Amino acid sequence: MPQVVINAQQKGGVGKTTDTVMEAIVASTIFDKKVLVIDTDLQGNATDFLGRTFNLKKIDYTLMRCLEIGDLSKGIVELSDNLDLIGCKYDMRKYGDFLIEKFDNIYDRTFYMSNLLDAIKDRYDYIFIDVPPSTDLKVDNAMVCADYVVVVQETQRFSFDGSKRLVFSYLQSLVDDFGSKVKVQVAGVLPVLLQNRRELHKKIVNDTVSFFGQDNVFNTIISNHARLEWYTAQGIQFNDFHDKKMFALFADIFCELEERIQAFETQGDISDYIYKRRYLTKDNKLTKLGKGLDVNGLN
């Protein structure tokens, strides 16, 4: 069964797009999953990021154009054997008005993209949807497509507060409005640690664990890596030791995500769970599996 995943946060600038792209590339190149990335952000950052990585020069059908004609398959661009993209451009700004003009009720407006996605989703193992840090009708359209949300939380107080609002206000409001039609589960909170030695950041991680519970916080933490910033400017590569460590980190994140999804699918919840890292240790050293990493379909 395909899984639709969204990395989300109400605060901007926490790395949602970078995490989405890295998870999609790791899933498709290391774990041989068939993956689709759908970019719904009118800034098109995921589209540009993947475009630089795979030398994509042109998109004939943007996501907005696909939504207008009612066929997402028209926008699918093959980046590699296992990785596809439906790209987004600034024309996505029209989507809210389009939905209001097309439908006379909130249910049809909210579930339009989800209904179109049903026609293509069985082609994939994973579909990652990149969303902007907002809570409007456009984001609602993406969120009701999702099976799982990963709450990406930078170790800052505003981001921690944003995580609480996302889970207990925004997602809960969708459930209140549409009931069982909203199937999304929170796979967990993924901390993004800016500086390992800053006590405030450690405190916020601890506060996050205390508030959400250890079961609901990823054991794999994204540390601040200049390599990730370099990727966003140059495209993702797999050429040297530092690249291998970056891929090892996200291999652990993807494995932990899969285990969390498996727990929901088999048990209905996550209980007494801590992920055991396989590819990169907590002190940022490659394990034997990490040293043996290789990728298919990149560069």
pTM of the model: 0.94
Residue 19 is predicted with a pLDDT of 93
For 271, list phi and psi in degrees, rounded to 5: -140, 135
Tell me whether residue 297 is in a domain: no
Tell me whether residue 299 is in a domain: no
Residue 160 is predicted with a pLDDT of 81
Under a CB-based contact definition with an 8 Å cutoff, are residues 130 and 46 in contact?
Answer: yes
Is residue 86 classed as helix, strand or coil in its secondary structure?
strand
The CATH number covering residue 278 comes to: 3.40.50.300
Tally the C-alpha atoms within 13 A of residue 137's C-alpha that lie toward its C-beta.
18
Is residue 260 classed as helix, strand or coil in its secondary structure?
helix
E-assigned strands of the chain? 3-8, 35-39, 76-78, 83-86, 126-130, 148-154, 185-193, 222-223
Binning pLDDT at 50, 70 and 90, where does residue 10 land? confident
* pLDDT at 14 > cutoff 80: no
Burial of 185 from C-beta contacts in 10 A (0-12 / 13-18 / 19+): middle
Binning pLDDT at 50, 70 and 90, where does residue 299 land? low
* Overall average pLDDT of the 265-281 stretch: 93
* pLDDT at 194 > cutoff 80: no
Tell me whether residue 25 is in a domain: yes
Q: Which domain range does residue 133 map to?
A: 3-292
Cα–Cα distance, 129 to 151 (Å, whole number): 13
Range from 8-17, 104-113, 137-146, 251-260 carrying the lowest mean pLDDT: 8-17
Tell me whether residue 139 is in a domain: yes
* Overall average pLDDT of the 260-287 stretch: 93
* pLDDT at 178 > cutoff 80: yes
The number of domains in the chain is: 1
Torsion on CA atoms 20, 230, 234, 252, rounded to nearest 10: -40
Binning pLDDT at 50, 70 and 90, where does residue 120 land? very high
The 10s digit of each residue's pLDDT in 57-75 is: 889 999 999 999 999 999 9
Tell me whether residue 298 is in a domain: no
Ramachandran region of residue 150, left (φ > 0), alpha (ψ -120 to 50) or beta?
beta
Range from 106-110, 199-203, 284-288 carrying the lowest mean pLDDT: 199-203
Binning pLDDT at 50, 70 and 90, where does residue 262 land? very high
Instruction: Compute the radius of gyration of the chain from its Cα atoms.
Output: 18
> Considering only CA atoms, which of 24, 26, 18 is closest in space to residue 5?
24
Distances (CA, A) of 116 to 66, 74, 108, 285: 9, 11, 12, 43
Token digits of residue 79:
């980046």
Cα–Cα distance, 53 to 51 (Å, whole number): 5
